Amino acid sequence: MSLVERIAQADERGLAASGLACLDRCLPLLGADDDLLRPLWASLADGSDWSAGLDRARAALGAGQPDDEVALLARRMLEAAPAERTAEAVRPWADACSVASLRIHRLLDPAADGTAAADGLAAGRAGDTADLPPLVAAELRRQTAVLELVAEHGPHGLRRALDLSIEGRRVLRAVVSRRARTGA
């Protein structure tokens, strides 16, 4: 099943976890504390309202303008998160986060040409991963795994979904650090 199909079939918790995981993996681009989104993860686990956690995360990042496209894409993920966590409200956000995160990974992938070719990303999300650069393909696998974990294990799958996000955050942080050292 493709990522697009999984997003279309996911329930409210799976969708919220999917969008949140994409955002969580991109935190290094915003210079944010790794624990910034922990209250949101906790609200997914216990079913509590997450709007207060969203407000705190937005306030913690302040109103500064990102200085590049990848940071702008990451900030928009947080800004676009719906206060109401229903499937109808969260589905378009989760889908947009998926696309934004894949674009970020494509822009940062040393094996890519530095563009965020929408057609290649759309094909990858639809299941054709043959031409995806390695960083993008790994992000696509993480997105799929998060949706699978929550669909199969409900709230118990959230811990592993968070672990996947932490792993992805470390990878992205390493890529950003390498680019800064090499000037690429």
> pLDDT of 34-49, one tens digit each?
999 999 999 999 999 9
* Residue 25 backbone dihedrals phi, psi, to 5 degrees: -65, -25
Span 11-30, pLDDT tens digits: 999 999 999 999 999 988 98
Gap between the Cα atoms of 177 and 184, Å rounded: 10
pLDDT band at 121 (very low <50, low <70, confident <90, very high): confident
- Using left for φ > 0, alpha for ψ between -120 and 50, and beta otherwise, residue 32 falls in beta
Mean pLDDT of 95-120: 82
Longest dimension (CA), the chain: 44
Q: Return the DSSP state at 9.
A: H
Q: Both tokens of residue 88?
A: 């109808």
Alpha helices, DSSP H, located in the chain:
3-9, 12-25, 38-46, 51-61, 69-80, 87-108, 118-125, 134-153, 158-182
> pTM for the full model?
0.92
| Predicted local distance difference test score (pLDDT) of residue 72 | 92
| Predicted local distance difference test score (pLDDT) of residue 184 | 57
